[in-house]
């Protein structure tokens, strides 16, 4: 990944406490996995930033390399990679996601 893409990704991740790379937008997700993570964040009343990777192909490819995670959505809290849909759901059910967000 080139330095410009890496810097753009890091700037996005730091722009909000909670940041989500997803397919689509929070109002119009384009995949079920993105929808499920959005629903979790909305249930928790979280103000989150996002990037629609369908509109930014360089970010779509770069974020997979950046996180060393092959799928989207990707959730970040305090600049740290948390995981994709399954991990977000598991952390939400256990109450750990709420703890991470409220720190």
Q: What are phi and psi of 74, to 5 degrees?
A: -130, 130
pTM metric for this prediction: 0.95
Q: How far apart, in whole angstroms, are the C-alpha atoms of residue 54 and residue 39?
A: 19
CATH number, domain with residue 96: 3.40.30.10
Average pLDDT estimate for 8-14 = 97
Give the angle 18-20-21 at the CA atoms, nearest 5°.
Answer: 155
Torsion of CA 63, 65, 68, 72, to 10 degrees: 40
Give Cα 76 to chain centroid, integer Å.
5
Number of domains, the chain: 1
Note the pLDDT tens digit of each residue in 23-60.
999 999 999 999 999 999 999 999 999 999 999 999 99
Q: Where are the beta strands (DSSP E) in 23-98?
A: 48-52, 74-77, 80-83
Q: What is the pLDDT of residue 50?
A: 97
Structural domain boundaries enclosing 42:
3-102
């Amino acid at each position: 990944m080139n330095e410009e893409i890496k810097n753009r990704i890091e700037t996005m991740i730091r722009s909000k406490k909670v940041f989500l790379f997803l397919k689509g937008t929070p109002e119009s997700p384009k995949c079920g996995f993105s929808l499920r993570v959005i629903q979790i964040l909305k249930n928790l009343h979280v103000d989150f930033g996002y990037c629609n990777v369908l509109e930014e192909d360089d970010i779509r490819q770069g974020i997979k390399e950046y996180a060393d995670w092959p799928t989207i959505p990707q959730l970040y809290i305090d600049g740290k990679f948390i995981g994709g849909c399954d991990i977000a759901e598991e952390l939400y059910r256990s109450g750990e996601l709420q703890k991470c967000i409220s720190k």
